[in-house]
Amino acid sequence: MTIPLRPGPVDVHAHIVPPRLIDRLTAGERAGYSAERLPDGRVKVTLAGKPFNPPLLPGMVDLALRLAAMDGQGVAAQVVSPWVGLTGAGPPAADAAWLAEAVNAEIGAFVRANPERFLGLGTAPLALPDAGVAIIERAVGEHGLLGVEIPTIGDVALDDRALDPFWAAAERLGALVMLHPLLAPMEGPYGRYFLNNLIHNPLETSVAAAHLVFGGVMERYPDLRILLVHGGGFLPYNLGRLVRGRAARPETAVAMTGSVEASVARFLFDTVTHSPAALRFLVEEMGADRVLLGTDYPFDMADPDPRGTVAAAGLDAPARAAIERGNLDGLIAGAAVRP
C-alpha cells in the first residue's frame, strides 16, 4: 500500500461528516435520514427519524476550517473517522448496513480527493455481524480505508461470540479498529457537570476494553489492531486492579486463559489525555510503540495542541517521533504485507 501523505505528524483521531454524505442526506436518499443546511451555514441532520441537536460543528463539515486547524497544530495529515452518530449504534437493522456503506463510500471519496492530507476509517454495523464482515472487507478493499470506527457500547457486546467472524475479518485484513464511546444521556449521576463526557466517555472505553480482555477476544485474535481513544480511558490507570481480579476472582476465567497484561499489551492508544503527566504514564505503562498522536477534532474537548502535549510529557526524541508518525507508518506497512 502506497500512502502519498505529506511528511510530518499524523492525527489519528479526528471526526468528519463527509460533504457527499450530506448531499445524499439532503437529497432524501433514505427515508428517515436527512440533512438541512441552515441560514447560518451549519448543518442539521436527522438519522433514523431522530433530529440531532445542536447542528453539526462547522469543523465537522468544512474542509477549509479543518485544514487551517491542522496547519495551526503542525499536523501534516489526519486519519478521519465518522462522527460517532454515524457509527451504527441505534439505527434499525434495515438501515444499519445502508448507513455504514454510505459513510464508508463517502469517507473513501473524501480521502481520494485529498490524498496528501487524509487517510480514513469507516464503520461497520455490529448488530449485523454477517453484514459487518462484508462491509469491513469493502471498506478496506474497495474504499481504501484503513479500517473502521465502532462504538464501545451497542446492540451487541464486543465479546459476544456472534462477532467472532467480524474480529477474524478485521485481523485478516490488518484493519485498524477504533473503539469510540457514545455520549451518554444527560441523566442520572452523569447528567450534571458534563460528566456524561468527562467521566462516562472514558468509562465506556474502559468497560469495552475489559470485555475484549476477559471475553478472550484479544487471545483468539492476537493480531487485532484495536485503538482505544482518549488515552484508553481509565484502563491504563486501573490495569493493576484488573490483574488482581484475574488472580483472585473465578469470574475472570470464564472465557480467557492467559494474562490480562498479555491482552492489554495488544491495544493501541491515542494521546488525548489532556495531561502531559498522564501521557507520560501511558507511555511508560504501555510503551511508546503503542501510542499514536490524536486530537478528537473538532470537538471542544479535543486537544488543541497535540504536539505540545507530547513535547510537555518529557519523552525522548525516538518516542516522540514514533508517536507522531512512526507507529502509524508501521501499522500501514504491516497491513500492506498481509496475505
* Banded model confidence at residue 183, pLDDT cuts 50, 70, 90: confident
Complete domains list, the chain, with CATH: 10-17+59-336 (3.20.20.140)
Range scoring the smallest mean pLDDT among 2-11, 21-30, 299-308: 2-11
pLDDT tens digit sequence for 249-285: 999 999 999 999 999 999 999 999 999 999 999 999 9
Q: Which residues pair with 78 in a beta bridge?
A: 11, 118
Element (H, E) at 218: helix 217-220
Per-residue cell: 86: 454515524
Residue 338 has pLDDT above 70, yes or no: no
Mean pLDDT of 128-133: 87
Enumerate long-range contacts of 23-31, CB under 8 Å, 24 or more apart: 24/102, 24/106, 29/102, 30/95, 30/98, 30/99, 30/102
Mean pLDDT of 290-308: 97
In this predicted structure, what is the pLDDT of residue 92?
78
pLDDT digits (tens, 9 = 90+) for 184-224: 676 788 889 999 999 999 999 999 999 999 999 999 999 99
Return the pLDDT at 109.
97
Q: What is the mean pLDDT of the chain?
A: 93
Q: What is the pLDDT of residue 337?
A: 52
- % of the chain at pLDDT higher than 90: 83
How high is the pLDDT of residue 187?
75
pLDDT the model gives residue 77: 98
For the chain, how long is the longest CA-to-CA vector? 60
What pLDDT digit, counting tens, does each position of 42-91 carry? Answer: 899 999 888 888 899 999 999 999 999 999 999 999 999 999 989 866 67
State residue 334's pLDDT score: 79
Q: Where are the beta strands (DSSP E) in the chain?
A: 10-16, 34-37, 43-47, 50-51, 77-82, 118-123, 147-151, 176-180, 225-228, 267-270, 291-292
> What percentage of the chain exceeds 70 in pLDDT?
96
Query: What number of CA atoms fall less than 13 Å from residue 301's CA on the CB side?
Result: 15
Give the pLDDT confidence score for residue 119 in this predicted structure: 97
How crowded is the C-beta side of 322, counted as CA atoms within 13 Å? 14
Q: What pLDDT shows up at residue 89?
A: 61
Q: Give the integer Cα–Cα distance in Å for 125 and 287.
A: 31
pLDDT surpasses 80 at 112: yes
Query: Which pLDDT score is estimated for 53?
Result: 83
304 neighbors 73 (Cβ within 8 angstroms)? yes
What pLDDT was estimated at residue 2?
58
pLDDT for the residue 129: 81
Residue among 95, 35, 88 nearest 60 (CA) = 35
